[in-house]
Structure 1
Amino acid sequence: MKYKLIALDLDGTLKDSHNQITLKTKGALIALQKQGVKIVLASGRPTAGLRHEAKELLLDQFGGYLLSFNGARVASAKTNETIYEQTLTIEEAKLAYQRAKEFNMACMTYKNDMIYTEDIDDEYVCVEAKINDIGKKQVSSFIDILEDPIHKVLLTGKPEYVASIEEEFKKPFGDSLSIYRSAPFFLEVMAQNIDKAASLHRLATTLGIKQEEVIAFGDGYNDLSMIEYAGLGIAMGNAVEGVKERAQIITKTNDEDGIAYTLSQIYKGVEY
């Protein structure tokens, strides 16, 4: 089987525990792009939060893709052209905000490559800004800045609290929105039926790539859909148990170059 597309989660997968892409992993992915394999960065991050890693891996030169907001937007790393997107309506974003206030959760969204929030000093808002290397803007009214459709509303809370209220939080929305945890302290709210698998399928179809020609690497619950979708779904050694249980392969951890290790076994010309 010749795999033509590789989808990679970032945090805990592509990047090690020091928030770096190791030289082995970088070398493997650049070597495969030279062979014509398409690389897709697939993350819950906003598009702006993927650009540094995309440039480091030369995706702009080789024509890779950025699947951001857990799939709410797919764009070309070379041109920033939108391949696919599905956004929340302003009314849906308002409802998410109002529900967040009922549960005393901080709330943020993204505009102009920045985080907009009423809770600029919230510890997890600060984490999100640092992870994505983007700025924060304090607003007096979250609802007042909802002038355009929104890709994602992100809510924060202590991990044990978010875990305890997740199902109750979702109840009023039924299946009308996609709501799930990414990190233990983040609850993501997106348009209906948004996940990494659905958007990856749209991209693969656009590129004329079959499902069985796709590899996906991940470590978290928001990676589960694309790991199950891919022709070869691979869990990192540091992945949560639920992902490991559904993956076809469990590789080494993100600190042990798990991506490079497995790719060296699949493709010629890739070293580990």
Structure 2
Amino acid sequence: MEYKLIALDLDGTLKDSNNQITPKTREALIQVQKQGVKIVLASGRPTAGLRHEAKELMLDQFGGYLLSFNGARVASAKTNETIYEQTLTVEDAQKTYQRAKQFDLACMTYKNDMIYTEDIDDEYVCLEAKINDIHKNKVSSFIDILENPIHKVLLTGKPDYVASIEAEFKKPFGDSLSIYRSAPFFLEVMSKGIDKATSLDRLAKSLNIKQEEVMAFGDGYNDLSMIEYAGLGVAMENAVDGVKQRANMITKSNNEDGIAYVLSQIYKGVEY
């Protein structure tokens, strides 16, 4: 099978435990792009949080894509043009904020490639800014700055506390929103039905690429949908068991250049 589109999760997949893309993995991905394969970085991060990795892999030069907010937006790495997006309404974001205050959760969203929050000193807000290398902006009223497009509202709290209140927090929303923990201290709120597979499918169709021509690499539960969707779904050796069980293949870990290992077996000129 000729795979024309490769989707890559970042943390635990593309990047090693030192938060780096290793030279071997980078070279392998450059080589497949030279053969016309399109690369899409697929992450829960905001679009701005993918810019360093996109530049390192030369996605702007090769015409790659950025699937951010777990699929709420897909954009061209070269032009930043939006290919697909599904956003929260201002009303839903307001309701999320009001619910967050009832549970004493810090609340943030993204605008102009920056974080906006009332809780600028919250340790997990600071962590989110550091992970994505983006600035924080303190606002006096979170509700007053809400305007479309709103791709995600992120809530934070101590891990044990977030785990204990997650089910209760969700009750008023029913199935109208996608709400889940992406990390022990993060509670993500997005439009209903958002996942990596749905957005990856939209991108593939826009490029006239068949589902069976898509390859996806991942390690976490938020990667499961695209692992199952792809013609070749690859789990890293360090992936959670649920992803390994549903993948077509298990490769070496993110610290052992697992991506390069698979690509070397499929594409000519790629070394491991």
Q: Determine if the TM-score, normalized by the shorter chain, exceeds 0.5.
A: yes
Equivalent residue of 1:239, what SS? coil
Alpha-carbon RMSD:
1.1
Matching of residue 78 in structure 1 with residue 74 in structure 2: no
Q: Which amino acid aligns with 1:226?
A: M
Q: Which residue of 1 aligns with 2:12?
A: 12
User: Equivalent residue for 1:187?
Assistant: 187
What are the Cα deviations for residues 99-122 of structure 1, in whole angstroms up to 9, with x where unaligned? 212222111100111101111111
Question: Which residue of the partner structure matches residue 69 of structure 1?
Answer: 69
| Structure 1 position 35 matched with structure 2 position 26 | no
In structure 2, distance between residues paired with 1:236 and 1:104:
36
Q: Percent identity?
A: 85
Once the two structures are superposed, the pairs formed by residues 133-152 of structure 1 within 5 Å of their partners are 133-152=133-152
How far is the alpha carbon of 1:70 from its aligned partner? 0.7
Deviations 1:5-43 (A, max 9, x none): 000011111111111110011000000000000000001
Question: For residue 84 of structure 1, what is the amino acid of its counterpart?
Answer: Y
| Alignment match, 2:261 | 261
What are the ranges of 5 or more consecutive residues in structure 2 without an aligned counterpart?
none
Structure 1 residue 251 corresponds to structure 2 residue 251: yes
Q: Map 1:1-272 to 2 at 5 A.
A: 1-272=1-272
SS of the residue corresponding to residue 75 of structure 2 reads strand
Structure 2 CA distance, aligned partners of 1:161 and 1:235? Answer: 30
Where has structure 1 moved over 6 Å in runs of 4 or more? none
* Aligned residue pairs, count: 272
Shift of 1:238: 1.4
Q: Give the Å deviation of 1:136.
A: 0.4
Which amino acid in 1 is paired with 2:257?
D
What amino acid does structure 1 have at the position aligned with 2:143? I
Deviation at 1:149, TM superposition (A): 3.0
Secondary structure of the corresponding residue to residue 182 of structure 1: strand
| Gap change, CA 1:134 and 1:190, over 3 Å in 2 | same
Tell me the CA shift for residue 151 of structure 1.
0.6
Q: Partner letter of residue 147 of structure 1?
A: E
AA of the residue aligned to 2:218:
G
Q: Return the TM-score normalized by structure 2.
A: 0.97
TM (norm. structure 1) is 0.97
